[in-house]
Structure 1
């Protein structure tokens, strides 16, 4: 949120999710994804957000958790973009 406030909507920002979140349940993963995306604020034309894991992914991460993560990023991002329109 501080980075977005400093640069406005002129550039895309990249923000991280702690990869250990992927060892939590699906509801917690979705909640953390939402928190990260909402902290960057509503997207505007010409701006964006590159969502990634802070330190990569552990070989022990359940593949199902990665699916929950990707689906949540897509769902929340789409909802935020449609709300911004």
Structure 2
């Protein structure tokens, strides 16, 4: 993950997953993980109040991966939690 992507990525996570303070000297736990990763589709979105689930399919190289995501509404936006 590029350094300039980190602030945006952190905003996609709910408060319990977001780092409380940035640690610039810490090794990047996502180094290389998201290189060439693209969202192919989002399906089966189910909203119940301030929570939701969705099925996310991503592509990295030739590999497709589908997973279920849990989301919560925080500060007028949906974040992964």
* Bin of the TM-score, shorter chain as denominator length: under 0.3
Of structures 1 and 2, the one scoring higher in RCO (CA 8 A, sep 6+) is 1
**Structure whose residues are more often strand by fraction:** 2
TM-score, L = length of structure 1: 0.21
TM-score, L = length of structure 2: 0.21
Larger Rg, first or second structure (1 or 2): 2
